[in-house]
Amino acid sequence: MSESEPASPPRRNRERRTLVIRRDDHIGDPISIAWLAPAETVGDAIIGRLQDYLGPKVRIAKAEISRDTMEVEVEARGWREEADRMARAARDLAEKGGRRAALQMCEESLQLDSINIEGITTMGIVLTALDRNEEALQAFKRAREFGASGVEPVLQLVRCAMRMNRLGTAVQYVHEALRMDPHNSEARRALRAIKRQMK
């Protein structure tokens, strides 16, 4: 391509992904009805609540409910690469002290790609830095649902729960972290700290 030719516009991706929504993350909220209603009544009402939760840019193909989780197959259109770049820029900006501007960039990242893992994870980190722990907790839950893997997202949930003094919730996440990584030093320290506070 010559210098005089215009650059190709960013490509909008259509992505199909299975989100895993955990029952323990949604106790008492509108989605929890999925685990309370008789199996034969699960249908449009549940899909409607899931749609409200995931937003209008996500199309739900199907949902399968088990005892502890709900697997939701979704399709979304977005600009994932651009969203990833914006999320990384937001993280850099937050590290330099521009937290509120970084939060706005995270929101813009999720406008570009509404199930973007990097965007929602960075949003959780920035919200934590702003001491908005309840919102950060919800962001990290979504990050896991969107597909963030490994023990780090669970440790983020532990940190949020402990900052809010939700020790029962923190214990739940600590045990989950230790199932994933039995020798994780942060999870072990957190468990000891929680036990001391609960005495």
Q: What is the pLDDT of residue 39?
A: 59
- C-beta separation of 12 from 77 below 8 A: yes
Closest-CA residue to 113 (of 90, 139, 141, 85): 85
DSSP string, 64-81: EE-SSEEEEEEEEEE-HH
What is the token pair recorded at 178? 């230790």
Q: What is the pLDDT of residue 1?
A: 43
Superfamily of domain 79-147: Tetratricopeptide repeat domain (1.25.40.10)
Q: What is the pLDDT of residue 147?
A: 94
Per-10-residue mean pLDDT of the chain, 199 residues long, equals 51 84 92 78 79 93 91 93 96 95 96 95 96 96 95 95 95 96 96 89
Closest-CA residue to 84 (of 109, 105, 102, 107): 109
Domain boundaries, the chain: 13-78, 79-147, 150-199
- C-beta separation of 105 from 135 below 8 A: no
